[in-house]
Structure 1
Amino acid sequence: MSTYRERPAAGLDCVWERTSDHPSSGRVVPDGRTDIIRYPDGGLFVAGPDTVGHVTELGPGRVVGVRFGPGVGPAALGVPAHVLRDQRVPLAELWDDLAALEDALAGADDPGAVLADAARHRLRAAPPDPLAGAIAASVTAAPVAGLADDLGLSTRQLHRRSLHAFGYGPKTLHRVLRFDRAVKLAWTGVPFAEIAHRTGYADQAHLSREVKDLAGVPLGQLIRP
């Protein structure tokens, strides 16, 4: 049996946990976010922002993670998001002296809360780009120059700050965040044609093509239990 659950976490996107009593696999898809993950053997890794979906294989046990909101993770991790794009990196390569954190996790009933506290501590010391939230909220299919003007940036500055905060340029960021909204709606049972309309795709066929490009499988297969 395998279970997956998420819960809110102040200052972060969420804390999540996957438990299984047997080896399992799951498809990870782009969402514009970065995660810190603790595996059953105690290993700590960072999952960078993805550009395509992929299948992960997990052994039995409890996997716990914290997910940063779009544009937030790089500040806590100390590297630009594009360095982590499509990568899985040991946390020890990014954070010095993990001994205290590893000790706290080893004795914790709620390791997700311990990871969340560590992530928030890092964010207090190094806040994210103040424009990251505005970029994520405003990025659309409209010309990049218009968004740059709205934010008081040149198009080159917008592209550089987008790469640093999200791992993608503005156009790719728009594709990824729109896809993420569409998948979340699909999980709630919204009809695919309505999803296409609500998230700004030209039609359901456009939605289908984008999902297949970014996830690697059709939307119906992606949300199949």
Structure 2
Amino acid sequence: MGADGRYEERSSRFGGATVWNWSGPRDPARAVLPDGCMDLLWTGGRLLVAGPDTRAFTATEAAPESCTGIRFAPGTAPALLGVPAHELRDRRVPLDAVWPGAEVRRLAERIDGTADPAAALEDIALRRAADASPPDPLAVSVAERLGQGLSVADTARSVGLGARQLHRRSLAAFGYGPKTLARILRLQRALALVRAGTPYAEAACAAGCTDQAHLAREVRDLAGTTLGGYLTALGGAGQAPAKSDTALPSGSSTTA
């Protein structure tokens, strides 16, 4: 995170979401890993949306020194934003590319004039949700099952969908198919164990990988680094920054 950077997060008033804030210099060598989430961001005087990542997101050196976001649980943001998740996959876009420009300008002025941008973002989400359709309950159930380590096939059976139906619903809800989401959530489980000090081989098996070599391949493919490089980049910190349009991505608790 950098010696002078500060990251804080808390549970949001918006169900299942997390509010986070980063202040201080960013380390452009760090990348933030996919986590299945989408974020609404306030950074550099702009409102942005961070879509679901399929690979590590690397910051630029021109990152603003403060960023606030609300990170939505997997499958819950598309209904709120009014856009399928796959349209924002691996993208950071201005909110006015998704919502009407005049509305976004009013929201930006409101946040710019407040001492608590995080609370303002929560208010935006809560007010929008009151007029929006609820999240797809099936997608939320799918994310929970895959997050617990259930296989894609077993998950499909448990929610009563065929493989093609599950894939189609997953694209809209998560931005990618269930197999990709399962890989991402499995990696998150494994790295949480690694951060807690569990040996690589034990963490791999506990998270659902076949062995340590399998975990190493997943880290390389999804995070663009090695297990050792991942821990070195953490620098011993157990808490990591969240998703932004520059140095920090989606509130994921893992960086590389």
| TM-score calculated relative to the size of structure 1 | 0.91
User: For the residues of structure 1 that align with 2:109 and 2:34, how far apart are their CA atoms?
Assistant: 32
1:196 aligns with 204
Deviating more after overlay: 51-60 vs 203-212: 51-60
Contact 1:162 1:168 in 2 (8 A): yes
User: For the residues of structure 1 that align with 2:116 and 2:152, how far apart are their CA atoms?
Assistant: 45
Count of paired positions: 222
Q: Matches of residues 84-163 of structure 1 in structure 2 within 5 Å?
A: 84-96=88-100, 97-124=103-130, 125-139=132-146, 140=149, 142=151, 144=153, 146-163=154-171
SS of 2:41 mapped into structure 1: strand
Contact 1:132 1:162 in 2 (8 A): yes
Q: Percent identity?
A: 47
User: For the residues of structure 2 that align with 1:189 and 1:87, how far apart are their CA atoms?
Assistant: 33
Per the TM alignment, residue 188 of structure 1 is displaced from its structure 2 partner at its CA by 2.7
Per the TM alignment, residue 23 of structure 1 is displaced from its structure 2 partner at its CA by 5.3
Deviating more after overlay: 209-218 vs 188-197: 188-197
Contact 2:152 2:182 in 1 (8 A): no
Q: In structure 2, which of residues 81, 86, 90 is the aligned counterpart of residue 77 of structure 1?
A: 81
Contact 1:12 1:66 in 2 (8 A): no
5+ residue gaps, structure 2: 236-256
Which structure has more RCO (C-alpha within 8 Å, separation ≥ 6)? 2
SS of 1:112 mapped into structure 2: helix
Deviations 1:92-126 (A, max 9, x none): 11122113321221122210111122112222322
Per the TM alignment, residue 61 of structure 1 is displaced from its structure 2 partner at its CA by 2.3
Residue 149 of structure 1 aligns with an amino acid whose one-letter code is R
Cα root mean square deviation, aligned = 1.8
User: For the residues of structure 1 that align with 2:220 and 2:16, how far apart are their CA atoms?
Assistant: 28
In the superposition, relative to structure 1, how do residues 23 and 152 fare at CA in structure 2: closer, same or farther (>3 Å)? closer
User: For the residues of structure 2 that align with 1:213 and 1:164, how far apart are their CA atoms?
Assistant: 23
2:6 aligns with 3
Contact 2:170 2:178 in 1 (8 A): yes
Residue 129 of structure 1 aligns with an amino acid whose one-letter code is D
Q: Matches of residues 204-223 of structure 1 in structure 2 within 5 Å?
A: 204-223=212-231
Is 2:70 the counterpart of 1:63?
Answer: no
SS of 1:150 mapped into structure 2: helix
SS of 2:115 mapped into structure 1: coil
SS of 1:131 mapped into structure 2: helix
Deviating more after overlay: 170-179 vs 94-103: 94-103
Structure 1 residue ranges, 4+ long, deviating more than 6 angstroms after superposition: none
